[in-house]
Amino acid sequence: MLYNSRRVITLARKLRLVDYFALGWGTMVGVGWLVVMDDWLLRGGVLGAILGFAIGGALLLPIGYVYGRLVAAMPDAAGEVAYTSKVFPQSISFATGWMMILAYFIVCPWEAVAVGRIAGYIFPALDSVELYRIAGQPVYLPHLLIGLGLTGLLTVLNYRGIRLSATFQNWTAFGTLALFVLFVSFGVSKGSPRNFPPIFTHSPFVSVFLVMQIVPYFMTGFESVVKGAEEASPEFRARGFLKAIWMAIVVGILFYIVVIASVGYVAPWKQLTSEKFMTAVAFEHAVGSRWIVRVILAAALLSLFKVFNGNFVAASRLLFAIGRRGLVDRRLGYVHPRNQTPSIAVVCIGLATGACMFLGDAILVPVSEVGSVASAIGWLAACAAYYQMGPAPRERLVAVIGVTVGLLMILMKVIPGVPGHFTAYEWLALGIWILLGVGLGWRRNPSPNSL
């Protein structure tokens, strides 16, 4: 809560179990299955990609359990910041929160850029009026206008109220699942197991390992449930947080496995990796008609809207929460008296998203890689905090597993020589974000009511 003009103003309490599932799963599953399917298959082959997502996703279940326990005990929008502040110094809490803001926020401009790319695929005339190039990639005016329009819409939705945002999230999340079932069902009826080879693109271990490296980025979002913890309906039960988190992880794993297997089944995928949006091309190849492409693109657009909105919610709530704690400018902790939303934090995320769109997708790619590591840092910190709180021995073991998984996910991206490790661009992006955090600084006098 926050005091606005001497009156206690709290966030609106309107979210239910279905809303939390839609937030967690919707924030996690975006349009990677359409936009970068070629990268997944080239990394591991069909079986390598399936195993990579299955194993990598399953390793997140202990982390999800820890989050479920923590949020039930501390329903605080600050999430990892709140948990770590109980057992670690303030500097660690701020650093953890700052990295998690990156993990959520960077998805927003990425999705805003992606909607322009998908629109350009549907209507090629939109790939025109090139304004400039960054790293050799063109930035088109129509793409910018579409992305900025969507950013404006989501900013208004989240400014006006969490119920509006949650309704939008539910329709887009379940609409995506319905369209997904439709196009997969029709597509696989035309496929053949003969299309699967090569099932691995490298040795089996390396194939699976290369895919597991990217799982944190494409599975980030289940923990966004905790960022909306203060907005739970009065009838909501605390155990529902863990249900929503685990449901999001399990459905996310199944979604990725099914879509990868389907693409490998419906067409000779190795011949299609040079195609733009190869998932759509593969299904069109199998069915022999453009209608299924339209269904896939509709599903992708709905998925893009929900992951954009979900990450917008998580980023704005976390920014609001660290502002409320005095770790950054306290004005970010303001609650709108009528809408009961973190209005200033919402506007800041909207403006920053719009500004980053002008960088184009070439610059956002390395930052997205950093976002994957940022998520792992947050997961590690949350599990370490839970361990330090001294739960029962069995739960301490789960926390140790979570710490280990988070640490390994970080190391396999930052250690030189490991396949798929950070390049100079990723280190530059990470350095810029850290310097920005240092520039904002963390205050030494947080509100005593927020710790």
- Residue that the structure tokens 């496929």 belong to: 191
Length of the chain: 451
Q: Which residues, including other chains, have CB under 8 Å from residue 415's CB and lie 6 or more apart?
A: 421
CA-based nearest residue to 145, from 175, 123, 170: 123
In DSSP terms, 138 is beta-bridged to 133
Amino acid occupying residue 353: T
C-alpha separations of 376 from 24, 198, 212, 223 in Å: 16, 31, 13, 11
Q: What are phi and psi of 231, to 5 degrees?
A: -110, 20
What does the pLDDT profile of the chain (451 residues) look like in tens digits? Answer: 444 444 567 888 899 999 999 999 999 988 888 888 988 999 999 999 999 999 999 999 999 999 999 999 999 998 899 999 999 998 899 999 999 998 898 888 888 888 888 888 888 888 888 888 887 788 889 999 999 999 999 999 999 999 999 999 999 999 999 999 999 998 888 888 899 999 999 999 999 988 988 887 788 889 999 999 999 999 999 899 999 999 999 999 999 999 999 999 999 988 888 888 889 999 998 888 889 999 999 999 999 999 999 999 999 999 999 999 888 888 998 999 998 899 999 999 999 999 988 887 766 666 667 877 888 899 999 999 999 998 888 999 999 999 999 998 888 888 887 766 787 878 888 888 888 888 776 444 444 444 4
Q: How far is CA 286 from CA 167, 265, 282, in A?
A: 35, 9, 6
* CA distance linking residue 98 with residue 328, whole number of Å: 10
CA-based nearest residue to 223, from 100, 307, 93, 58: 100
Cα pseudo-dihedral 274, 276, 281, 282, rounded to 10 = 50
pLDDT score for 229: 92
> Do residues 245 and 67 make contact, with C-beta atoms less than 8 angstroms apart?
yes
pLDDT of residue 258: 95
The DSSP symbol for 149 reads H
Cβ burial of 55 (10 Å; 0-12, 13-18, 19+) is: middle
Residues β-bridged to residue 139 = 132
Q: What is the DSSP letter of 68?
A: H
pLDDT score recorded for residue 249 = 96
Per-residue pLDDT, 125: 87
According to the model, what pLDDT value does residue 448 have?
Answer: 44
pTM: 0.90
Residues 6+ apart with CB under 8 A from 296: 34, 179, 183, 279, 280, 283
Say if residue 91 is exposed, middle or buried (CB neighbours under 10 Å; 0-12, 13-18, 19+).
exposed
Three-state secondary-structure class, residue 306: helix
Q: List Cβ neighbours of 389 (8 Å cut-off, separation of 6 or more).
A: 86, 87
**Per-residue pLDDT, 435:** 87
* Residue 224 CB neighbour total at 10 angstroms: 28
Q: What is the spatial distance between Cα 329 and Cα 325, in angstroms, rounded to a whole number?
A: 9
Q: What is the pLDDT of residue 367?
A: 67
